[in-house]
Amino acid sequence: MRRRKYEEFEEDNGTMLRYARHVNGGGFVESHAHVDPTAYVGEHAYVDRGAVVGEGAHIASGAWIDRDAVVHSGASVGTTAHVAAGAVVGREARIGPRAKVGAEAHVWDGARVDSDESVAQGAVVRAGIRGRHAA
């Protein structure tokens, strides 16, 4: 069975969103998002309009990088995790499977959000001495 090259969705306001498969991993990237060619976007993952995914980042299958979110170089977002609108994931940060990073939240360079954890809207997660877990 052939995989689709594109997916199109219409937002409630009538805006059409067009997603193309990323060359590295086959996940879907909206036409107004920027994903570095060296980043991996797993199959069934989505990167929304205005989002940025940096060099060498890894977006696992089923993950969702929401509108205007930023995933910096070397960061990793786990399977079915959600990085909400306007959130920032720092360099070499790790977001575990099924984790949720709230809108406008900041996960600092090297910080870790464990599996199934949620980071509140606007919260800051710092890389700490004791395990680097979300506060």
Would residue 106 count as lying in a domain? yes
Would residue 54 count as lying in a domain? yes
User: How are beta strands 46-47 and 64-65 bridged, if at all?
Assistant: parallel
Would residue 1 count as lying in a domain? no
Provide the number of structural domains found in the chain.
1
Would residue 131 count as lying in a domain? no
Distance, CA of 4 to CA of 110 (rounded, Å): 35
**Residue 99: which CATH number?**
2.160.10.10
Would residue 101 count as lying in a domain? yes
| Residues of the chain below pLDDT 70 | 1-2, 128-135
Domain span at residue 10?
6-125
pTM: predicted TM-score of the whole model, two decimal places: 0.90
Would residue 133 count as lying in a domain? no
pLDDT of residue 9: 81
Would residue 134 count as lying in a domain? no
Q: What is the pLDDT of residues 37-66, one digit of tens each?
A: 999 999 999 999 999 999 999 999 999 999
